[in-house]
Structure 1
């Protein structure tokens, strides 16, 4: 009898230990998926309070405030059932039935399998510290603030939940596609959007504006995309955020490198690269020069050497470059030998047909943290009281000098373009239509009030 009790106790303890280990494995799997999905980039305003929300995200329709997704029962998602959690991730529907805006990339997360949703739920409910902190409410202009309208948007553009493997492709390709289209949501940034802010699926990954930054073409097209990159080069870029003589991650891509891609396994990065390499891109871009090959070194000092400092304004860009940029990027724009400070020629930021990234880099700087070291370039436009603060005209002058000396000389930057990027990027036409709608609605209300007043006046006359 005593032996049986001891045996039963041993079995119970073993089962409990096995269950605890299974739960821990599930939570770790969910944590990895949360890293792959880069939840931190949007939902963490302070590193001291991971996933507590409050971060303001610039969008073409207005500022969107990320919510608290910690397991707080009062301010987060602690009261969500797994089914409600799944509906939020894959259908964009909150626990209270209200619709989310697709700034939360549920259109990509719809790809996630039931097993991965289960693991993510386990992580956010058991592996994340609850933070009882309310966030401000997103306030978009009328009628964009009517969340009910998203039901019609979802009916038009939301794909069915789950992932269907392409049996004609390898297992690694399918894994890469699952990650790129799902958790990593590459298309959310790199695919241009239509009038209703839907992704143009026939132009997948061919480049799009994301707030003040431009997410470039990452298809296999050798000229407009990254078709000249080897798979190893793409993996290196995803791990480090830089590829010497070609590209450096800044803005939202730097965040993705810092918080997400560098932490993925080498195999998953290889699989993502294998899939990205297979996306054909724009077939019409067959002639010209790749943005990674454009530009050449040029002596900045030579443009105004021997002239007084009060030289004509045409030389202001050269003076700004000499005083603020040459110490790191070199007087010839060559950067440093180790590539830590990149060259300004053979650089995607200075040769892209859209100059947003050059402007945004000057305005907001660069900050990237990876295993190989931290990268920092100071901002020159978002510190009004700083000695090195530049106004819109100065940023335009510096941008045009850099383009003329080292990049695509055919591009011209105006102060108006700088002002748009400084304010968070271009605004969607939907906002203007909404404003027109509000104005028209106000006129209708005024007209109705006048008619009612006139009728009442006639009755009392």
Structure 2
């Protein structure tokens, strides 16, 4: 079973569209509504979790890796045996907006109902018609999710939802244009960009006071996309932003990898020009959040002459040795890149204030297909053809070399950081508190306090 790591609150994921339509049935009476629902499902990226590669469209079974364990996506085909075929539209709306299925069970927020709660009644209707009439039923049940105590108690999600979920449909603002309102709806509802790009609190709920200012996705980091000139995307042109959303690559600025690459590949590249422009217009006017950087992350670095200077030398930097033997062939000896491989300087991954995405790119590689053209960088870490080709120490060495020569030299990488990224990132506090040894320690403390209290009470009674 392939496992995906990402978007929070439980390292949660984005969703895959094109396979969902591959087996779509045609209903002539509702063809326009089905087409509308299909587009909405693409914008909402619904298939990325509910499709297993090679499996039936929307058949579920995909494992979403979270800090608490794997969450298995359910079958959402119109099967009455294994899917949602017996869901009424009200049942469907409740599941999408509130994260509660027909049986009354709470869904885990790997399904981003915290954002989908804003989907309008009309769009819920179109999505319902699409899933019921435009997707082929599959009677194979998906495996059940099995998380450790206490998270296996789905009812515990009710309290979390009271704190962090809101199922009020989107209401357009009167003080902004229709284009900005459309962008707001896409960013914060359908495309659920906020789910990844907004930081999380200790209970893994969104900190909306810092909306879209960046957040950890386990191994990856979703950067600040507010219009701050140095911390965010304030120095990007509208054309840059539109190109990035549609292709995942802007020369001299950034390239999409990890969860963002999948969002571009399976969802964003298929959106209309008008919707892409609306997202750009909305991002332009959200409150800018500064994180203290003095130089924009895509402005660091310059070409290097180390290849000619160090080749053949008896004592060389350990990171340069890895770079020369592993990276220089594609990214070029001076780091300027090619048409297919990005420059290592003027690159948001090497100029960022944290090295998560640089490390994750080396460990996991880059994989996206846009407009039929595959873009691939091999994984040099624990997966793929290059399994364990580079050790954690070597990845740390080459990361530090790249940062020093092409990116933000203030950022340093250790082998321990590489191991942490390789294993899914820092464990959130909520997950740490759920570990059995923590519960055991709490139990020991509680029992100790009870023992002390009983002993004191016994002494008091004996002295009475």
After superposition, the Cα gap between the structure-2 partners of 1:142 and 1:444, relative to the gap in structure 1 and judged at 3 Å, is farther
Q: TM-score, normalised by structure 2?
A: 0.87
Distance 1:316 1:130 in 2: 55
1:211–1:424 contact (8 Å) kept in structure 2: yes
Alignment of 1:235-314 (within 5 A): 235-283=242-290, 285=292, 288-302=294-308, 304-308=310-314, 311=315
Q: Which is worse superposed, 431-440 or 261-270?
A: 431-440
Q: Distance in 1 between matches of 2:300 and 2:233?
A: 14
Conserved 8 A contact 1:300-1:321: no
Residue by residue, what CA displacement relative to the aligned partner does 1:295-339 show, whole Å, maximum 9, x if unpaired?
A: 11113425632334xx5xx72211111111111100010001x3x
Question: What is the distance in 2 between the residues matched to 1:296 and 1:321?
Answer: 16
Aligned with residue 325 of structure 1, among 324, 327, 333: 327
Displacement after TM superposition at 1:412 (Å): 0.8
- Contact 2:232–2:290 (CA<8 Å) still a contact in 1? no
- Answer yes or no: is the 8 Å Cα contact 1:143–1:434 preserved in 2: yes
Q: Deviations over 1:243-263 (max 9, x none)?
A: 000000011100000110000
**TM superposition score normalised by structure 1:** 0.87
- What residue is the counterpart of 1:439 in the other structure? 440
Q: Note the 1:160-309 alignment, pairs <5 A.
A: 160-283=167-290, 285=292, 288-302=294-308, 304-308=310-314
Instruction: Provide the C-alpha distance between the structure 2 equivalents of 1:131 and 1:325, rounded to a whole number of angstroms.
Output: 45
Distance change >3 Å, CA 118–CA 150, structure 1 → 2: same
Cα 1:383–1:160 change in 2 (3 A) is: closer
Deviation at 1:59, TM superposition (A): 2.5
What is the match of residue 9 of structure 1? Answer: none
Residues 219, 422 of structure 2: 8 Å contact kept: yes
Gaps of 5+ in 2: 1-25, 452-464
Equivalent of 1:118 in 115, 125, 132 = 125
Aligned-partner SS, 1:393: helix
What does residue 139 of structure 1 align with? 146
SS across alignment from 1:192: coil
Q: CA deviation at 1:27?
A: 0.8
**Which residue in the other structure is 1:156 paired with?**
163
* Distance (whole Å) between structure 2 residues aligned to residue 212 and residue 64 of structure 1: 17
How far 1:22 sits from its partner (Å)? 4.7
**Gaps (5+ residues) in structure 1?**
1-18, 451-461
User: What RMSD in Å do the two structures reach over aligned CA positions?
Assistant: 2.4
Go from structure 1 to structure 2 and tell me whether the alpha carbon gap of 1:186 and 1:386 turns closer, same or farther (over 3 Å shift). Answer: closer
| Residue range with higher mean Cα deviation, 158-167 or 377-386 | 377-386
Aligned-partner Cα distance in 1 for 2:305–2:69:
42
Residue 363 of structure 1 is matched in structure 2 by 363
> For the structure 1 residues 421 and 167, does the alpha-carbon distance in structure 2 shift closer, same or farther, using more than 3 Å as the test?
same
Instruction: Tell me how many residue pairs correspond in the alignment.
Output: 426
Contact 2:27 2:134 in 1 (8 A): no
Closer, same or farther in 2 for the Cα pair 1:299/1:40, shift >3 Å?
farther
SS in 2 for 1:277: helix
Structure 1 residue ranges (4+ consecutive) displaced by more than 3 angstroms after TM superposition: 19-22, 383-388, 440-447
Question: Which is higher, the Rg of structure 1 or of structure 2?
Answer: 1
